[in-house]
Amino acid sequence: MSGHSKWSTIKHKKAAADAKRGKSFSRISKELTLATRLGGKDAEMNPRLRSALLAAKAVNMPNDNIDRAIKKGAGELAGQVMEEMMFEGYAAGRVGVIVHCLSDNRNRTAANIRSAFAKNNGSMAASGAVSWQFHRKSRFMVEAPELTEDKLLEILLEAGADVENVAFEEGYGEVTGSPEAFANIAKALEAAKIKVSESSIAMIAENQNEVTEESAARSATRLIEALEEDDDVQAVYHNLSMSDELAGKLAE
């Protein structure tokens, strides 16, 4: 759902992040709980928990909610056992889609995901059929109106952050690096007082799949949006790309 320019990509990702904020608290709470259960309460030693804490901070999640979620993960409070699940499939136009879920009911979640694909001209795929086209990356969406792309890159490199790519324009940007670089990139942004609106270990497509047919692009977009609306879905990754002109038609 992005255009050819890096700025179109950034705008889309920011818009998608903003649209999800209404449901962010419950999703971040789940992630805080699972991250704590898997890696412990010390964020310095647990990059996944640090990522979840940054996400909580970005949406102004109350400290009480954060503490409660972490205590559930540490076994200090009773709570439902969350299970992590990944689903793979194709949207119209052979667009690759990966769905990351956290759920307390595997059967319910699987049925909902299957239904979303079926209703939107998509198809489920076996594990590994789609994910080989994606790579795990540290990803940060940032807001810094006073900076340029070169200045942002300079700040990160001077702080020793091992970044792979910086795309930045008109105050908004995306910083990516290896999964192992998550902690040092996060610290560099925090030290520079650069606002992080979204952070995660994300699945980034190696190559984009440009869809030129309007009906296919519309179906693929609807599938992605339907998946993102599901309460058990934490993130949807895809390789859909389209021209700015086509994206404009879909937005009408």
| Mean pLDDT per 10-residue segment, the chain (252 residues) | 44 55 76 89 87 82 91 83 92 96 93 97 96 93 87 90 87 89 87 86 92 95 94 92 89 80
The string of pLDDT tens digits covering residues 194-203 is 888 888 889 9
What pLDDT, on a 0 to 100 scale, did the predictor assign at position 21?
53
Convert the pLDDT of each residue in 114-153 to its tens digit.
999 999 999 999 999 999 999 999 999 888 888 888 888 8
Would you say residue 140 lies in a domain? no
The confidence score (pLDDT) of residue 198 equals 81
> Does residue 247 lie in a domain region?
no
Q: Yes or no: say if 97 and 109 are a contact pair by the CB < 8 Å rule.
A: no
The CATH number linked to 67 is 1.10.10.200
- Say what the pTM is: 0.79
Asked if the structure places residue 37 within a domain, the reply is yes
pLDDT given for residue 94 in this prediction: 96
Is 203 among the domain residues? no
CB distance 130 to 97 below 8 Å = yes
Domain-located, residue 189: no
In this prediction, residue 214 carries a pLDDT of 94
Give 35's contacts (C-beta < 8 A, 6+ positions apart): 46, 48, 49, 51, 52, 73
pLDDT at 11: 52
**Domain membership of residue 56 as a residue range:** 6-73
Considering the domain boundaries, does residue 212 fall inside one? no
State the amino acid at position 242 in one-letter form. M
Residue 213 lies in a domain: no
Domain count of the fold of the chain: 1
Q: Domain for residue 31, yes or no?
A: yes
